[in-house]
Every structure is written in structure tokens, then in C-alpha cells.
Amino acid sequence: MSHQLGRLVAQILQRYCGEIVEKVGNDLFMYGSKPIAMIVKSTGLPRTQVIESLRTLMKFDLAMFEATGPHVDYRLLPENVLLLIRYPRYLLQMKSKYGTEAELIIEELLQQATCSATLLLVTIANKYKDDKDKNLTIVTLKDTFISLATAAYIQQAPVAEIKEGSEIPNLVQVATIVPDLDTRALMQAMANPVDIKDNIYWKVNYDRFHQDFRDDIMIKAMTRRIDDTAGEVMRLLLQQMYLSSAAWAEESNAIPVTDLRESSRLTDKILLHHHLEHYLKVMEENGAGFIRRAGDAGGGQYCVQAKVAAKLLVEDVLDHVVTERLGSKAARIFRLIRAKKYVEEEDIQKNAMLPNKECKQLTYKLLEEHFISVQPMRKSQQVSGTQKGIYLYHVKLFEAVHVCREMCYASLHNLSRARRQLVSEHGRALDKQRRVRTIVHGMRMRSETEESINDVLETLTPPEVNLLAQVEKQLKQLSTAELELDRNLFILNWYLHYP
Amino acid sequence: MSENKTDDVSEQILNAVKKNSKGISATDMAAEVPDLPSAELVGAINKLLQQGYLDIYKQDGALIYKIKNQLSKQVVKGADNEEKVVYNLIEEAANKGIWIREIRNQSNLTNPQLTKILKNLESKKLIKAVKCVNASKKKVYMLYNLEPDRSISGGAWYQDQDFESEFVDILNRQCLRFLHQRADKIKNNPRGPIVGRTQSYATAIEVQKYITDLGISKVKLEVEDVVTILNTLIYDGKAESTVYPDGSRVYRAIESLIPPPGLVQVPCGICPLIHKCSSTGLITPQDCKYMNEWLEQ
Ligand code: SF4
């Protein structure tokens, strides 16, 4: 729980949930867990508002409560707060994998936090009833919902159980059962949504998405390192891995080549058909250690080494960061120290082929930014002034990753701050634009004449239009950067999550 | 008359020895001066040895003769004993050089005396002081006409004890270019990835040949020099190396596993002030120049 994380969390809460929730969230962040009365006291907010905020936080899984006897403490879940900025990626993933319907379902579900299947589908169907481009039917929606549930992108929300004699509910996880939704019942519900009686609630399963993200990174990495056929092999391997191993296992169970061959039939890559074994061999030897040959039984077996992959990927991230911050020469030193585990200054200079002075300077810079650390050693016990101590440099990857993560938090915070600045600076213009757009939209619906629509549009003066275009571009740039940073964070957290 | 004749013989012998800078054996010598009885030859050689023109070495069980450094004769001529001792010590050290403290220990001379002698010899251009590359304060002495050893001069990478980083950079880039030329062979090679991989590999010798053909280096680069450069490429993360079953090492250019991550795409990730930047104070994201510039572009 770092200072930077706290700043970022506050910033995100402010953006998505408003100032009051931010205050409560921040208070919880600073003190760990505390009861309502304490929150009221330290924030100075009215009790009702605090309760309201906590409700919001809990609804979106951003906070939780811990009950010890009659005493209830609330705690913020900062990791989940960070997920809020990942929402666009979830949607994108859905859209590209399952199409528009899935995107809409996930979007609605993310907004509702939890929702029953019937209500969810009915709401979406009603919302887009008039939208001709999307052409939604309740049947396709239902089918998509079922395939999402089968693929575990959505799961049943925990059920609250209240024990007798206690007022505090207990959240119990339930196994997800893929529902059997009746189309006719859905049709009826569409007509009058008020009396829907479905009481099985659903929520988004973030973890499933994260597995996808991870796979994607690994496949892309193999594609970059070898070629796209190798990427394809990686995909097949991962696919097989899910069948036999836990999704986040450090190393998968052995995957027989025969199984791979079986599934490779489905792809249209000719190279893959001919050279599957060779690809596996090359990937094992030149694929940076993503996979490992586990045995010879049944034509060979391979393991996916997810933990190793995570380590290599964060190293890659760090290399990039060092390169950009301190230059490629510093990155060379950084990598050299990492390769040699513990090195003396002189050896660094000799192997890095850099002038003495520059090399020292860069080494100290790396030290200053905490990318590397130093271990002093004495040759003998006695402490004498004349004797020169030996200093061994090395990389504590864990610490370096933490440093990098802090920087990500700080950057995200700063971007978010800059966005707020931008929005408040041009608030008036943005407001006006929004109003004009709504009016125009309404007019189009009523199919009014082009002329009068133009009249409304012209209330935005050319300089305003220019300015708005610029602001829009900048906001877009900020969002893209945020998503990229989130991707970056994802790799770091993936590595840190292994013990 | 007999004197003249001996001189003649000596001349012949000396010429023969001079021609073979690596030294010459007694039998070869006899072949060079055919019309001389061996007794006389031995006599003449002995005389030359005495006069300090020749040196005698033992190599593979046979004696060989070498021309003695002309300089040493000069110093022997006009020098006192101490100078001779110091000179010999330095001479022994050959192109590795000898450190002043070592000379002092071995010669038992006092410091001022030694300094004086060294100055003297230096001004006569008989010896020179060379700075050691891996210990900048350490000076070693060696004979004036010697080329310092790699361990002292640092080999091809040093010019007058200064590290030539630009030269290294250029070589680094050229080596990478060479590796890049074949790196793509592995990509979707119709003959399979193993053949492709083999085609994308290069040995150090191939790289050396390429560099030599380019003619960018004034000095001759040994294979080990090229290996050093290739190693820097590995540390740059731009190449990887594998050992073939036959023990030879091969190199291949590689891409990083991921494209530049998000952190380096935003101004804060490369901002030197990131650790000083906070919500209030002098450096804030609200009015950050870097951020604004980045947004403007
Ligand atoms: S906001 Fe500006 S000053 Fe602060 S870290 Fe980012 S780039 Fe640097």
C-alpha cells in the first residue's frame, strides 16, 4: 500500500464515483479497516452519505466488510479500484471475441455490478429496441449470454446468507450453473420488466478476462521472437493447458504432442502441420524459456512455464524503462548485471565496453533509481581504512518491479489529473457541445429538416469547433495512454502474484 | 688481415641472423656461411656474443641465435651499473611492462635514485612509461620500441590509453546489421523453423570477415575482439547466442518480447522528476510542461 497507489485510487474514485465516495475511499485506504462511526468522524461527512458511499463501493466490489461479532469494519480493495480503468479493455476483448451482443452484455453488467439474467437481457433488448444498426433480438442475446456463462466470463454472484440471531450477512460463493433461459418468458418480461422474478444474480468474472490478457501477451511475445506460426503453437499449448492445469499455475502439467497435433488440425497453417515438432523444439531452445520439454512419453511432452514467462516479460519491461529513462548504455549495464548475478564494478566496465567514467556514472544512476542494488563485501574481518572494500552489484528483480509499479501508479495518477484539468478548463465548451449533440440527435429522430439541424449546429462557432476537436483528441490520447499503462501494470502484477 | 677476415665473417653471421628475426639455429647458420670451418664459426659467434651483438636462446632443445637489441648495446656502453640493472629488469618484463615498485623491490635501489635513473633512460628514449588501462594511476615501464600488450593497452579498443567508445559503437551497430540481414530467415521459413534458425545464425568468424571486408577498422580485429562486441549486443538484448553441438558459438539477432510498454509511452515514465512530482508544490501534473508538450503533439 503505497503513497502513489493511494493517490491513484483517490483519483480514480473521484472520476468514476464522485467526490464523496472518494473521501470515504481515501479514508479507508489510509487507515486500513474501520467501522462506520470512525469514518463519519474522520471524514466529517453526514452518516447517511457515508453509508451511501459504502454501499456504492461494496456494490462494485471496491470495498468489503469484515465482521467480528457485532462489530463491522470496512476495508477498501485498491486492486479492484484499479480495475475500473480496465473496463474498456474488457469490452474490447468481448467485441473482438464474441461480437457486439457480448460487448453490450458485459457493458451493462459492469454498470449494474450484479444483475439477474432476465433483467439484464431485457434491459439491453429494450434499450436498443429502436437501434436498427445493431439489429438485436432477445434470442441472440440469450444465446450469447449462455455462451459467456459457459466460457466463464460471467459467473454467479455470491449469495448473502443471514445466520440466525445475527444481522450480519455472510457472503457465500456459489458454483455457477449455466442457466436455461426460456425465450418466451424473456419476451414476456420485455413487455413489462417490473415483475421479473429471476433472483439468480450474475457478475463479471474478471479473472477469466485476465487469463485472456495473459495468453495474448504470451502469444504475441512468441510471434515477435520467432514467427506467427510459433505464436499459433503457443496458443494451442495454452488451450491445452487449460484442460489439464489450474489457470494460474506456475507451470502447466505436461502436454503431450499428440494432443497438440490433434488440435493443430483445426488451424489452416500449413507450416504448423508439417513442422509441429520442430517448432516446439525451436520454441524450447529459442523461445526464451516459455516452454520446457517435460518428457518423451507419447511423442514428447511440453510444459508451459508461466512463471518463467512472467519473469522474462517483466525483465523486458524493465529493460525498456531503463533504456528510455537512462539510455541504452544504462540498459546494457542493467542487463549485464542481471546476467552475471553479482558483479564488481570493474567487470561491468570490461564487459559492457564503455568508457570507465560513463560506465560508473550510469551504474550509480541505476543505483540511485533503485533498479540495481549493491552489496558491500569485506575481504577480511578487520576493518582497516586503507583496504578497499569490494562492492558487488546485483538486480533484485522484485524490488525493481516494485519501483516500476510505483512509477506506473504515479504516471496513471498524473494522466488522470491532467485529464481532470483538461475537462474543467474546457468545461463550458464541452457542455455546450454535449447539449447541441443531444438536440441534434433528437431532431434527427423526429426527422426534421437538414436546414434547421444545421442552424443548431452553427451555434458552435468555428473557433469552438476547433478547440473541441483539439480537446477531444487530447482526451483520446490520454485514454489510450491509460490503457497502455494498465497493460504495463498487468504484466508487473502478473509477475508479483507468484509467491 | 686475420682481423679483417673475422670482421667479414661476423658481418655474414649478423646478416644471417638479422634476416631471421625469430632466431636461427646453429646448423642454419652454418649453411649461411658455407665456406667457413665450424671451429672458426663457433669462435666468431662466441666473439659476437661477448661483444653483445648476439643473444642465445634455447628453444625445443636446440640453441638458437638472435640479434641482440641494438639499444641494449648503447645503454651498456654509456651507463653505470645501476642503470644497467634497471634496464635489464625492464627488458625482461618485455611488452607486459613493469611497475615502478617492482623495479625498486628487485633492484634494491632507493626511490630518488630509481626515479633519476628512470628519467634518464626515458630521456634517452630507451624506455617509455605506459599507462595501464585497467588501473588509470598505474604506470608501467617497458622498452621504447615495444608495442604494449593487450592487457596493458586494452587491445583494439584503446588509442593512447583512451577508450574508443565511438569505434565500439560503430562496430556494435555493424555487427547488429549483419545479424539482422539474416534474422528474418527464421520467420515462416518454408523449410521449417530448424532450417530457418540455422540460416539466421552467424558465427563470430563470419561476423569478423564481414567487418574486415567493410574496412571500417584501422586495426586488425581478432575473432575474440568480435566476440566481445557480439557480447555487448547480447547485453543490449538485441542478440542471443547458442552453442552448437560441436562447441562453436553462434549468434542471432532477436526482438524484444514486448513492444515498448505503456510506461515509456507517457511523459511521466521518462520524466527525470517523477520522484519529485506531487499534487502540490513546484512540480505538479497540473502545470507540467512535459505533459502539455506531449498533449500538443
Ligand atoms: S506530471 Fe510532469 S513533472 Fe510530473 S512526473 Fe509527469 S512529466 Fe514529470
Q: Between B206 and A1, where is the model more confident?
A: B206
pLDDT per position as a tens digit, A137-146: 778 888 888 8
Residue B14: CB within 6 Å of ligand 1? no
Q: Between A318 and A124, where is the model more confident?
A: A318
pLDDT per position as a tens digit, A468-477: 888 888 889 9
Q: How much distance in Å is there from the Cα of A293 to the middle of ligand 1?
A: 46
The amino acid present at A276, given as its one-letter code, is L
Q: How much distance in Å is there from the Cα of A401 to the middle of ligand 1?
A: 20
pLDDT of residue B155: 64
pLDDT of residue B160: 63
Residues composing chain B: 297
Rounded CA gap, A412 and A25, in Å?
18
Rounded CA gap, B104 and B102, in Å?
5
Q: Is B163 close to A312, i.e. CB distance below 8 A?
A: no
Burial of A47 (0-12, 13-18, 19+ CB in 10 A): exposed
Q: How much distance in Å is there from the Cα of A387 to the middle of ligand 1?
A: 43
| Range name among A28-42, A421-435, B147-161, B246-260 with the lowest pLDDT average | B147-161
Among protein residues, the one whose CA lies closest to atom 2 of ligand 1:
B288
Q: Is A484 close to B265, i.e. CB distance below 8 A?
A: yes
Unique residue bearing C-alpha cell 476495508: A75
Among protein residues, the one whose CA lies closest to atom 6 of ligand 1:
B268
pLDDT per position as a tens digit, A84-100: 888 889 999 888 888 88
pLDDT of residue B70: 54
Question: CA B208 from chain center: how many Å?
Answer: 16
Mutational pocket test of ligand 1: of B279, B283, B286, B287, the residue with most ligand atoms within 8 Å of the beta carbon: B283
Average pLDDT, chain A: 83
Strand partners, A291: A304
Q: What is the CA radius of gyration of chain A?
A: 28
pLDDT of residue A55: 87
Residues of B in Cβ contact (< 8 Å) with A414: 268, 277, 285, 288, 291
pLDDT of residue A328: 87
Closest-CA residue to B257 (of A313, A280, A324):
A313
pLDDT per position as a tens digit, A312-321: 999 989 999 9
Residue B1 binned pLDDT confidence (cut-offs 50, 70, 90): very low
Q: Between B77 and B19, where is the model more confident?
A: B19
Residue A112 to chain B, least CA–CA distance (Å): 30
DSSP state of B190: T
Of the ranges B5-19, B124-138, B274-288, which is most confident? Answer: B274-288
Q: ipTM value, please give it.
A: 0.76
The mean pLDDT value for A149-159 works out to 84
Residue A211 to chain B, least CA–CA distance (Å): 17
| Range name among A79-93, A191-205, A468-482 with the lowest pLDDT average | A191-205
Handedness of CA B45, B50, B54, B57 (dihedral sign): positive
Rounded CA gap, A108 and A117, in Å?
11
| Range name among A215-219, B180-184, B227-231, B275-279 with the lowest pLDDT average | B180-184
Q: What is the 3-state secondary structure (H, E, C) of chain A?
A: CCHHHHHHHHHHHHHHHCHHHHHHHHHHHHHCEECHHHHHHHHCCCHHHHHHHHHHHHHCCCEEEEEECCEEEEEECHHHHHHHHHHHHHHHHHHHHHCHHHHHHHHHHHHHCCEEHHHHHHHHHHHCCCCCCCCCCHHHHHHHHHHHHHCCCEEECCEEEECCCCCCEEEECCCCCCCCCCHHHHHHHHHCHHHCCCCCEEEECHHHHHHHHHHHHHHHHHHHHCCHHHHHHHHHHHHHHHHHCCCCCCCCCCEEHHHHHHHHCCCCCHHHHHHHHHHHHHHHHHCCCCEEEEECHHHCEEEECHHHHHHHHHHHHHHHHHHHHHCHHHHHHHHHHHHHCCEEHHHHHHHHCCCHHHHHHHHHHHHHCCCCEEEEECCCCCCCCCCCCEEEEECCHHHHHHHHHHHHHHHHHHHHHHHHHHHHHCHHHHHHHHHHHHHHHHHHHCCCCHHHHHHHHCCCCHHHHHHHHHHHHHHHHHHHHHHHHHHHHHHHHHHHHCC
Query: Percentage of chain A surpassing pLDDT 90?
Result: 5
Residue B266: CB within 6 Å of ligand 1? no
The mean pLDDT value for A327-331 works out to 88
Residue B46 to chain A, least CA–CA distance (Å): 49
The mean pLDDT value for B80-90 works out to 78
Q: Is A324 close to B269, i.e. CB distance below 8 A?
A: yes
CA-to-CA separations, A75 to A15, A68, A119, A151, A157, in angstroms, rounded: 20, 13, 30, 31, 20
The minimum-distance atom of ligand 1 relative to the CA of B283 is: 3
Q: Is A317 close to B168, i.e. CB distance below 8 A?
A: no
pLDDT greater than 60 at residue B71: no
| Range name among A53-62, A249-258, B24-33, B120-129 with the lowest pLDDT average | B24-33
Residues of B in Cβ contact (< 8 Å) with A423: none
Query: Percentage of chain B surpassing pLDDT 70?
Result: 80
pLDDT greater than 80 at residue B184: no
Q: Is A355 close to B163, i.e. CB distance below 8 A?
A: yes
Q: Which of A286, A333, A355 is opposite residue B197, by nearest beta carbon? A: A286
| N-to-C CA span, chain B | 97
pLDDT per position as a tens digit, A211-245: 999 999 999 988 888 888 888 888 888 888 888 88
Among protein residues, the one whose CA lies closest to atom 1 of ligand 1:
B285
Residue B170: CB within 6 Å of ligand 1? no
